[in-house]
Chain A
Amino acid sequence: MLADDVACNPRNPYPAQARRAPTGGHRLDVYGQNVEVDYRGYEVTVENFMRVLTGRHDPAVPRAKRMLSDAGSNVLVFITGHGGNEFMKFQDQQELMAADVADALAQMHQKGRYKELLLVVETCQAATLYGRIKSPGVLAMASSLKGESSYSYLTDQDVGLSLVDRFTYSTLDFFERVDIHSQATLQQLFDTYSFAHMESHFGQSTENFERPLDQVRVTDFFGHVTEVRQLRGSYPLDGMPSSPERGDGGGGATAGRGDEGQVDRSCGWQEAGGGGQCRWSDDDGDSSGGGGGSRSSGSGGSSGGEAAKGRWKARPAKRLDHTGTLAGAVAAPALDGLTAGGLVALAALVAGSSWAWGARL
């Protein structure tokens, strides 16, 4: 969620960029190609923030705008902006209260939307924002304590503003020294924060967090590693059985071939017993005659890359349907006998009169 009024601001001399300004140049564009903003502008409201956390969305909200977390997810919530005692400002118009945050996290816990959650707050008097949280598994960090302000850092001479805060700068400094395989712990991260640099006291709350901080890797929250296995079968979604005639759903390996939407999906995900032996043709070109069910449009028996071609050949040529088949419409003849007779009569009259006229001269 970003108000996103920085990169394309008319005052930004580097359009579409937000360059962090370390001493000596504009090297790092923090608004780079891999920044994904889901909520921007007027969508950044307290209501949307709460909805994202709790998962209570209008049915029409697309999946890209939802946090699709479950009871096994580690969630990172990073809040930065203007704030004060137990509140944080949204767009200079609304305020997110500490009680709202606590309620949202309580709902998340009840709905099983996180396993562990790290809340990072960087506002003035940031530590007050997490003071009311009672949900288990929540770890909180703050850039300043009650009564303290958090400060910005390093004015950019071109823009005329500071593009980074002291807390964020310290955090980035730490993370630029670790990578995705790092074993660094949160305790090590916390130890790098110093009053001398931040000019405010770092705050933390581990009262709801069971694990000791020196056993929590930073990559548990600040990174994302998954093991990817490519399966050759189709995955039954939502507990529905994969039937032969399903024209939609399921993500087969060659789902892109489904030009008419009738791709055979009866892979033997269940029949072959866990091995995912798919008995329909895939890119490997394995011959898979027969298939688990009826093939689309009777192409039958063709394999591999020829499956698509076979389907093309078997289908009737898709030309303009001249005659048109509207279901249930009775095709009345366009030309009725009376008009046809009239046309013939008129033509005969013209021909006859012309002949007679020519004959008399």
Chain B
Amino acid sequence: MSGCIGNLCLGPAYYATAAVVARASLALLGAGEPLLWRPEVTTPLNSLLGVREGLRMLQLGLSPYAGASCHAPPLVLALHAATAAHPLLYALPNTVADALAALALWRLASLLCKGRSADASGMLLGPASLAAAYLWNPVGILATIGGTTTPLENLAVMAALLGGAARNAPLAAAGLVAGTYVGLHPLLLGVPLAIMFGRGCEDVTQLCDARTAGSGSLASQQGGGTSSSGGGGGGGEAGSGAETSRRAAGAGSNPVAAAATAAAATAAAAEAAARGLERKRERFEWMRCAEFAVFAVVWGGALLWLSDLFLRAHPEAQCLPRLAAWATAAAPPAAARRGACWLRASHGFALAVDDYTPNIGLFWYLLTELFDAFRPFFTFVLHSHAVIFAAPLALRFPGRPLFVAWALLLACAALRPYPSAGDLAPWMALAPLALAQQLRQLRSALFLVNALVLLAVLGPAMWSQWIIVDAANPNFFYSITLLLGVFYVVVLVQAVLLTVRVERLAAGKVVGDGLGAGGGSGGRGGDDGPVGAAAAGATAVAANGSVAE
């Protein structure tokens, strides 16, 4: 992605810088002011107005959580303290967070591509282009200039995934803890991160269609198996990956040779892959997981302690004394009687779903029309929807923690109590990376993109019809929200099916034409794998050529 206009060629770095400048300019132009009131961008949890109110109350000597509108955690308030009230500079922390998140994404993509170019690694976008695309994501820009606290959460998520891919325990733990601190739902990323530490992040470029890599796939499978069995982490994989990449590049440029070896290598590759996966399963490194957990606890404790330090003038808002008293079964401190601590105001608010302000989530409408007696049950069920994906996905795809993380980001964006537009940014940015192989199999990309664009138009239109024109009712807006939920479900199901299909392709169970509809035919085609492998040599050539290019 390097655009050349005449003699002037701009690399991705220029695009990235332009995106940062665009954010600053839009914020300076005051484009963020109306976004403070848009339900799609701002929710009670991440609203800048809540941050401003909390800061103002602090200035006036009150606890920021004495009122009802500040639901940001204390350190988020601290980060915005200098700039939130300024009409022009309020987007500065978010812009910095976005830039850092793009940097983290760039590092993550570089790590996973192992220094190869985009074409060689078979991904749609190279690392730098991916980072620039992340910065130019419209929903990300909206979230930034709207002054929401979501960019901080996105930065934490990116940092956590970078730490996981690099198996850097402090970084991953810091990202996870910070993400949980800001938004609570990134806590679910702990599951894929633990897998990443125990087993290593999957090589999104390597576990690809066996026919695409040709003879290189056999060696790469074996190389991957041995390196993971050695437990060498990123270094070992990088070494073997480099030579396989050369071989893969060589094979890819010669489709005939690749096809010739493909049929012969398929069966062998399947066997080697199975062996490699088994080896991977045996060597789950618990020590690394333990290190990760220890760092998470340390950073978490530091954040809690720092939050209480920030609120030391308001002991009724401090949480550590209460937690300590509860843990030791001692009497709660005297200040506890004056109100809840900041955890109740920020995360307790998200868990209890106190506020039914309309947003693009699914909770508010259902909770509005419930009788009070059913509220706790429905709140529990609705929260479970977001949480319940973590374990099954991790169990089904133990070798693909990055994909599991992506799927959990998608599920959380869909099923949080207060989702916003900024929640779309992480999973949209990670899709070319985590789903590098799956996207090659995706046939309905146009449909999904158009669906998202249509929903992005209809949502504000229905909101306007309801609130501004007063010609509609909340059902109109909620119907679009429901369709957005359906969209998320479709994307998630497509991704999972494609991943299953890619797995089967990698294991050599399915040859087929590679362009079968989604993953359904891939699933059904598993039985005639060996037969199809021998008989489909000719078709494999044609398909191979089209897929490789």
Contact = CB atoms under 8 A, between A and B. Distances in A.
A357 B170 contact: yes
A329 B57 CA distance: 11
Nearest to B171: A354
Contacts of A322: 52, 85-87
A335 B56 CA distance: 11
A54 B85 CA distance: 59
Nearest to A352: B170
A343 B79 contact: yes
Contacts of A27: none
Contacts of A334: 55, 58-59, 77-78, 81
Contacts of B299: 346, 350
Nearest to A338: B309
B59 A332 contact: yes
Interface residues of B, number: 35
Given A319-B87, A339-B309, A361 B235 contact: yes
Nearest to B234: A361
A354 B173 CA distance: 10
Interface string B210-247: 00000000000000000000000111000000000000
B312 to A, nearest CB: 8
Interface in A310-361: 319-320, 322-324, 326, 329, 331-336, 338-340, 342-343, 346, 349-350, 353-354, 357-358, 361
A329 B166 CA distance: 50
B451 interface: no
B122 interface: no
A350 B77 CA distance: 20
Contacts of B379: none
A358 B309 CA distance: 31
B532 to A, nearest CB: 43
Interface string B74-91: 010111011001110000
- Of the four ranges (under 10, 10 to 19, 20 to 34, 35 or more), the interface on chain A belongs to 20 to 34
A275 B171 CA distance: 84
Nearest to B88: A322
B163 interface: yes
B85 A361 contact: no
B167 interface: yes
Contacts of A342: 306, 309-310
Given A358-B166, A361-B167, A333 B87 contact: no
Interface string B142-174: 000000000000000000000100111111001
27 contacts: A319-B33, A319-B87, A320-B33, A322-B86, A322-B87, A323-B85, A324-B85, A329-B60, A331-B60, A334-B77, A335-B81, A336-B310, A339-B75, A339-B78, A339-B310, A342-B306, A342-B309, A343-B306, A346-B299, A346-B306, A349-B302, A350-B170, A350-B171, A353-B170, A353-B295, A358-B166, A361-B235
Interface of A: 319-320, 322-324, 326, 329, 331-336, 338-340, 342-343, 346, 349-350, 353-354, 357-358, 361
Interface of B: 33, 52, 55-56, 58-61, 75, 77-79, 81-82, 85-87, 163, 166-171, 174, 233-235, 295, 299, 302-303, 306, 309-310
Given A346-B299, A354-B170, 9 more contacts: A322-B52, A324-B85, A334-B59, A336-B310, A346-B303, A349-B302, A357-B171, A358-B166, A361-B167
